[in-house]
């Protein structure tokens, strides 16, 4: 471990499209999946991450380095996360949430989930269906029944988009 | 929230058009159910449940969210406005709503559970049942906010009391592991015994945040223990409290109201953020200094919510606070002399970066020429000064000028002419608006010429 040897240990991560990345162990172990591999002694050579592509992994590593450089200050970490995610499109966010889930990085997972939820906030059902390409497989009768069952949800929810 | 809009653009490539036809971000359907549940857990309960209408896949997802936030919306105001019988109806509606959701919700664990409504003793059974439900799901954050807009009326209903039976380990169904995940507990307008609070401190090894606000039965409380991981503690507006002892090695922020009795702090090496409120009859700077004696030199943020102006003058008695970065002072009113006295208080904080003054200056007195301008005190770090409740009295202007003249690295001066905490409920009358506008114009006239170019002057 870095603290014991005095020199920072570097890990090599491999994406599913065979891109290699070096990253400081201290940053990489933000991922519980990677931490477990390190602790089990499986981190000697290259760590293959079969569920993450190179583009997403590069982004996740940027995040790992950025957030681990910030000392224990929740507010600063939060503002870093907000800034990090601010320019990401939905496509990237979806990749990131899958990667964060696979890598078991709860802080990134929570931040990306919250960000995606923000897109859905105060939007009508029709808007969300269109935005996310969700196919409505209810018959009109079924849909009416679901609406009836969840009647309380449609009271007082203001949507700021057309239906 | 800033989603891409579908735009039909004849120049865009065909591939993109095909994608737009499907919806511009159709990836969401590729995400597994548990991630979708994570995502909709960040929506309000109503909005999360709304997703059931999207498609059959979404029908039951919301029932697995790890957050149950029973936000009342406009319900609380409705209760306050209604006649007695209708009030009861509104409360029953809320109770039925919570019961209905808890019956259909299926998540085995909960991160957040929040009750927020004007409820009292008469709903004791229902609320207790809800709390038992939350704790049996290893909840991490619990908030019970029963604040009422009716409390200033004569007939005050009996309050809900935190149920002893919930914490009785001999009671069938109470398992100590239920409390092991609790990280935050917040009670507002809930009566709670010191035994109950001590139970949580002893049995919740992860408890980081504890808030007790507007409580009317506690008389003594000890938040005490070398193994406490508690980081944030708020004990405010507990009228009967006579003695509060705090010793928590990991505490970083502490918010409290001054008591008739004593607030004792000990073993708080991490404490950097303190907020104190003191009704004018209780506050004394001696008492406050006594409470803070073990940590005053390490404080980085200090917030003083004071009752009346005279107290400010005494602040000059404070010792130097070498680490203080942010100082917030809020008072109901302030005479000119007190405003000027602030300058000596501030000069005792050499590393101050931000100063906020919130005044409700309903007395427009004006004295002239109080600051001794021959005494210069250059602040090397003060970057932001915010003055809420600026009335453009001569002393208000002088104070701002003092900062402009003495702060070497000042970046921003914010002057808010419309801040009125004392009369927050008063209607906004055209007269009030015109007074505010008049003040704004005056401020502009007085200050704009004096502010150096690199300082940003914001007038609200």
Q: Model ipTM?
A: 0.86
Last residue of a domain, one of B271, B292, B313: B271
- Asked if the C-beta of B109 comes within 8 angstroms of chain A's C-beta atoms, the answer is no
Q: Are residues B168 and B301 in the same domain?
A: no
pLDDT tens-place string over residues B68-125: 998 876 655 666 666 666 777 788 888 988 998 999 898 889 999 999 988 888 888 9
Q: Are residues B302 and B169 in the same domain?
A: no
Tell me whether residue B100 is exposed, middle or buried, using C-beta atoms within 10 angstroms of its C-beta: 0 to 12, 13 to 18, 19 or more: exposed
CATH of A2-120, one of 3.40.50.300, 3.30.710.10, 3.90.580.10, 3.40.50.620: 3.30.710.10
pLDDT tens-place string over residues A54-113: 999 999 999 999 988 887 777 888 888 889 998 888 888 889 999 999 999 988 999 999
Position B15 confidence tier, pLDDT thresholds 50, 70, 90 = very low
Query: Is residue B27 domain-resident?
Result: no
pLDDT tens-place string over residues B34-75: 899 999 999 888 888 888 999 988 988 999 999 999 887 665
- Cα dihedral B168, B171, B173, B176, rounded to 10, equals 40
Which bin fits B9, alpha (ψ -120 to 50), beta or left (φ > 0)? Answer: beta
Tell me whether residue B229 is exposed, middle or buried, using C-beta atoms within 10 angstroms of its C-beta: 0 to 12, 13 to 18, 19 or more: middle
Annotated domain spans of chain A: 2-120, 125-154
Q: pTM for this structure?
A: 0.81
The CATH code of the domain that includes B215 is: 3.80.10
Last residue of a domain, one of B239, B271, B303: B271
Measured between beta carbons, the chain B residues lying within 8 angstroms of A128 are 51, 54
Q: Are residues B356 and B443 in the same domain?
A: yes
pLDDT tens-place string over residues B384-436: 888 877 766 667 777 787 888 778 788 888 888 776 544 455 566 677 777 77
Strands (E), B323-454: 326-331, 354-359, 384-388, 412-416
Q: How far apart are the first and last CA of chain A?
A: 56
Largest Cα separation within chain A, whole Å, is 68
- Asked if the C-beta of B96 comes within 8 angstroms of chain A's C-beta atoms, the answer is no
Closest chain A C-alpha to B97 CA, distance in angstroms: 8
What's the mean per-residue pLDDT of chain B?
79
Position A29 confidence tier, pLDDT thresholds 50, 70, 90 = confident
Last residue of a domain, one of B246, B271, B296: B271
Closest chain B C-alpha to A49 CA, distance in angstroms: 18
Query: Is residue B129 domain-resident?
Result: yes
Tell me whether residues A150 and B29 touch, CB distance under 8 A: no
Tell me whether residues A152 and B97 touch, CB distance under 8 A: yes
Tell me whether residues A118 and B51 touch, CB distance under 8 A: no
Query: Is residue B191 domain-resident?
Result: yes
What is the C-alpha separation between B149 and B152, in angstroms, rounded? 7
Q: List the 387-416 stretch of B: residues with Cβ below 8 A of A.
A: none
Tell me whether residues A94 and B25 touch, CB distance under 8 A: yes
What would the two tokens of residue B237 be? 């507006």
Query: Is residue B289 domain-resident?
Result: yes
Q: Are residues B244 and B285 in the same domain?
A: no
Q: Are residues B132 and B205 in the same domain?
A: yes
- List, as one string, the DSSP characters of chain A: -HHHHSS--EEEEE-TT--EEEEEHHHHTTSHHHHHHHHTT--SSEEE-TT--HHHHHHHHHHHHHHHTS-S-HHHHHHHHHHHHHT--HHHHHHHHHHHHHHT-HHHHHHHHHHHHHHHTT--HHHHHHHHT------HHHHHHHHHHTGGGGSSPPP-S--
Q: Are residues B421 and B435 in the same domain?
A: yes
Tell me whether residues A130 and B6 touch, CB distance under 8 A: yes
Q: Are residues B146 and B282 in the same domain?
A: no
Q: Are residues B254 and B207 in the same domain?
A: yes
Are the C-beta atoms of residues B395 and B388 closer than 8 Å to each other?
no
Are the C-beta atoms of residues B457 and B448 closer than 8 Å to each other?
yes
Q: B97 to chain A: nearest residue by CA?
A: A152
Nearest residue, CB atoms, A134 vs list B34, B42, B54: B54
Are the C-beta atoms of residues B246 and B264 closer than 8 Å to each other?
yes
What is the C-alpha separation between A23 and A34, in angstroms, rounded? 11
Q: Are residues B256 and B243 in the same domain?
A: yes
Position B191 confidence tier, pLDDT thresholds 50, 70, 90 = very high
Neighbours of B18 (CB within 10 A): 9
CA atoms within 13 A on the CB side of A30: 23
Q: Are residues B308 and B262 in the same domain?
A: no
Position A3 confidence tier, pLDDT thresholds 50, 70, 90 = very low
Say yes or no to pLDDT of B265 above 90: yes
Query: Is residue B21 domain-resident?
Result: no
Long-range contacts for A72-76 (Cβ within 8 Å, ≥24 apart)? none
Measured between beta carbons, the chain B residues lying within 8 angstroms of A122 are 47
What is the domain extent for residue B395?
276-460
Give bridge partners of residue B331 from the DSSP assignment: B306, B359
Cβ neighbours for B127, distance < 8 A, ≥ 6 positions apart: B115, B119, B144, B146, B160
Q: Are residues B77 and B110 in the same domain?
A: yes
Count of domains for chain B = 2
Closest chain A C-alpha to B304 CA, distance in angstroms: 22
Tell me whether residues A156 and B73 touch, CB distance under 8 A: yes
Q: Are residues B163 and B108 in the same domain?
A: yes
Position A163 confidence tier, pLDDT thresholds 50, 70, 90 = very low
């Amino acid at each position: 471990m870095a603290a014991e040897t005095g020199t920072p240990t570097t890990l090599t991560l491999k994406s599913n499209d065979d891109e290699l990345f070096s990253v400081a162990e201290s940053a990489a172990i933000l991922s519980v999946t990677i931490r477990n591999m390190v602790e089990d002694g499986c981190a000697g050579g290259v760590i293959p991450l079969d569920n993450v592509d190179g583009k997403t992994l590069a982004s996740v590593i940027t995040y790992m380095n950025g957030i681990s450089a910030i000392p224990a200050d929740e507010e600063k970490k939060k503002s870093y996360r907000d800034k990090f995610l601010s320019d990401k499109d939905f496509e990237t966010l979806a990749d990131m949430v899958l990667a964060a889930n696979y890598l078991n990085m709860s802080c990134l997972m929570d931040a990306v989930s919250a960000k995606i939820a923000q897109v859905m906030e105060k939007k009508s059902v029709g808007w969300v269906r269109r935005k996310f390409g969700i196919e409505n497989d209810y018959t009109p009768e079924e849909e009416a029944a679901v609406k009836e069952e969840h009647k309380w949800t449609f009271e007082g929810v203001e949507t700021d988009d057309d239906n | 929230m800033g989603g891409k809009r579908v735009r039909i653009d004849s120049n865009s490539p065909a591939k993109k058009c095909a994608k737009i036809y499907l919806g511009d971000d159709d990836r969401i359907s590729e995400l597994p159910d548990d991630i979708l549940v994570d995502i909709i857990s960040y929506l309000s309960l109503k909005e999360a449940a709304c997703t059931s209408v999207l498609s059959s896949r979404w029908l039951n997802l919301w029932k697995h969210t790890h957050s149950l936030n029973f936000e009342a919306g406009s319900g609380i105001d409705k209760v306050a406005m209604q006649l007695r019988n209708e009030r009861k109806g509104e409360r029953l509606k809320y109770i039925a709503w919570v019961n209905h959701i808890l019956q259909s919700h299926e998540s085995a664990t909960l991160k957040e559970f929040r009750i927020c409504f004007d409820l009292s003793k008469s709903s004791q059974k229902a609320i207790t049942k809800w709390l038992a439900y939350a704790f049996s799901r290893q909840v991490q954050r619990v908030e019970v906010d029963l604040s009422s807009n009716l409390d200033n009326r004569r007939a005050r209903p009996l309050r809900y009391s935190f149920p002893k039976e919930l914490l009785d380990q001999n009671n069938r169904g109470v398992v100590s592991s239920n409390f092991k995940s609790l990280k935050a507990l917040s009670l507002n307008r809930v009566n709670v015994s010191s035994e109950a609070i001590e139970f949580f401190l002893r049995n919740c090894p992860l408890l980081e945040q504890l808030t007790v606000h507007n409580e009317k039965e506690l008389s003594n409380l000890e938040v005490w223990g070398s193994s406490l991981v508690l980081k944030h503690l708020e004990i405010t507006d507990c009228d009967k409290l006579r003695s509060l002892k705090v010793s928590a090695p990991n505490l970083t922020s502490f918010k409290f109201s001054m008591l008739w009795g004593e607030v004792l702090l000990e073993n708080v090496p991490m404490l950097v953020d303190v907020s104190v409120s003191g009704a004018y009859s209780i506050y004394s700077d001696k008492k406050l200094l006594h409470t803070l004696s073990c940590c005053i030199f390490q404080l980085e943020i200090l917030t003083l919510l004071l009752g009346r102006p005279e107290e400010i003058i005494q602040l000059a008695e404070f010792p130097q606070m070498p680490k203080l970065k942010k100082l917030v002072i809020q008072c109901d009113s302030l005479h000119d002399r007190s405003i000027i006295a602030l300058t000596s208080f501030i000069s005792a904080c050499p590393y101050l970066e931000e100063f906020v003054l919130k005044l409700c200056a309903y007395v427009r007195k004006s004295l002239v020429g109080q600051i001794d301008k021959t005494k210069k005190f250059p602040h090397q770090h003060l970057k932001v000064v915010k003055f809420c409740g600026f009335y453009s009295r001569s002393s208000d202007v002088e104070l701002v000028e003092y900062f402009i003249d003495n702060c070497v690295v000042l970046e921003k001066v914010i002057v808010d002419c419309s801040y009125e905490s004392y009369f927050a409920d008063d209607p906004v009358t055209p007269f009030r608006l015109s007074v505010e506008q008049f003040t704004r114009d005056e401020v502009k006239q007085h200050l704009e010429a004096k502010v150096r170019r690199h300082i940003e002057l914001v007038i609200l």
